[in-house]
Amino acid sequence: MSLLTIAWRNFCHRPLSSLLTTLSLALGVGLVVLVLSIFGIVNEAFTRNATFGYNLVVGPKGSALQLTLNSVFYLSQPIENLPYSQYMEMFPQAERQAMVDRLGGDPELAERDGKYAAFVSGGYAIPLALGDYYGTFRVVGTTTDFFEKLRHGPELDQPFEFEDGEAFQAESEANGFFEAVLGSRVAAEMEVGVGDVLYPTHGDPEGKGHEEAFMITGVLAPTGTPNDRAAFVNLEGFYLMEGHAKPIDESEKFEPANDQNVSSDDEGKLRPLTIPEREVTSVLIRTGNMMFAPGMQNMINESLEAQAAAPVGEIYKLMDAIVGPVMQALLGITLITCVVAAVGILVAIYNSMNDRRRDIAVMRALGARRETVTAIIVFESFLVAIIGGVLGWILAHAAIVLYSGKIEDQTGISVNFFTVTSYEIYILPVVLALALLAALLPAWSAYRTDVGSNLSA
């Protein structure tokens, strides 16, 4: 019989003691795995989704972290809004001219290049307008560029795909500016799809419902990102909802140059807001060259109107400053739990030694060496460690699976039973090392067992 078999028989011979010892270790390991997994999920949720191809988020002055959280993760509250003219600073003169002509605004805006246009040239600037809800989900006013230019996935190379329908149009014949696209989770939870309409509520989920209905033209395929939990509406439609136009003085009113060409057919249709009436919550920027980002960020942050945040950097700062230390503290506590469980192994095996000295003496009389009986004790401890470790791992991952829906709701991260963090590979060696330490004292006791006196006893 192998030593492992002998150890296993000894393990089974004291079922209650073995079960309790193993269970205590399993709970300790389970807690460690849970903490590691939560840390891994939080870490991945924030870092993986910290960008969808853009490298800066521009918004009003305030907390860079809050700007990142609300613009990228649709968490926290928007800080304030930026004048639309700040968004226009990302574009060259020709495009600014086109905007002024199309929307109506101060002609001076069209006389120069935007301050940051050179940085953005070759990249993109996508505006976001936040503040409304659909159910408990954020409504995001944006442009079709959002679906065309942003990418997701670990390599940031996957375009957004539609599970059903298509992206809204800048302006459609049937619905004008009032079209929407839903994230997969929004469609599933609200039980709506293409052809249905949604009515945003103002300010918070319980807020006053807007009267304007948005026709749902598409449902995004799941991405495992916060975008699954957002309802995207045409930015122009967002502006045209009641109470979304920035109040302006008479002196700030401008007519769009294109208005002179309005035909009689268009007279009943809603017109986009003029530039002074428009605000954006933030702008997602991809600089033409990644090297431009720090320069652009500095320049914006030195200005009085806006701030630019590098979302990945902000998230790393958040992890380092708050999440990391909290997780480390939790990990420390759970590791102490494991040490306590290891002490439990020690106590259980050591207490059993009194009953087993004769067995050890008999094995010695049958030819077992001191090292052999010592190894049997160590193997017993390892068995507790391996069974407890694996059981703890299974329990923790079962708990994660049990809460996977909630995790996905909260973080956008899809997890399954085999979603493991890189840290988990260290658990078994650590637990085995603890088991070895726990086994040392009883193993030494076994090593020193006097054969003669115990056989004669």
Q: Which residues bind other proteins (CB under 8 A)?
A: 1, 6, 9-10, 12-13, 358-359, 362-372, 451-452, 455-456
Q: Could you tell me the smallest distance in angstroms from the CB atom of residue 341 to other proteins?
A: 23
3-state secondary structure of 273: coil
Q: Could you tell me the smallest distance in angstroms from the CB atom of residue 354 to other proteins?
A: 14
- Cβ proximity to other proteins, 18 vs 70, nearer residue: 18
Q: Could you tell me the smallest distance in angstroms from the CB atom of residue 414 to other proteins?
A: 46
- Cβ proximity to other proteins, 283 vs 368, nearer residue: 368
Please give the angle made by the CA atoms of 87, 88 and 89, to the nearest 5 degrees.
90
- Cβ proximity to other proteins, 341 vs 363, nearer residue: 363
Q: How many residues does the chain have?
A: 457
* Chain centroid offset of residue 115 CA: 33
Handedness of CA 261, 267, 271, 275 (dihedral sign): positive
Report the alpha-carbon distance of residue 411 to residue 262 in Å, rounded.
46
- Cβ proximity to other proteins, 213 vs 362, nearer residue: 362
- Cβ proximity to other proteins, 4 vs 432, nearer residue: 4
Is 168 in contact with 204 (CB distance < 8 Å)? no
How large is the C-alpha radius of gyration of the chain? 32
Closest CA to 340 of 38, 16, 23: 23
Closest CA to 353 of 19, 17, 3: 17
Report the relative pairing of strands 162-165 and 279-280 from DSSP bridges: unpaired
Q: Could you tell me the smallest distance in angstroms from the CB atom of residue 16 to other proteins?
A: 14
- Cβ proximity to other proteins, 64 vs 348, nearer residue: 348
Q: What phi and psi, each to the nearest 5 degrees, are found at residue 360?
A: -65, -45
Q: Could you tell me the smallest distance in angstroms from the CB atom of residue 367 to other proteins?
A: 2
Burial 314-337 (b: 16+ CB within 10 A, else e): bbbebbeeebeeebeebbeebbeb
- Cβ proximity to other proteins, 49 vs 352, nearer residue: 352
Q: Could you tell me the smallest distance in angstroms from the CB atom of residue 12 to other proteins?
A: 7
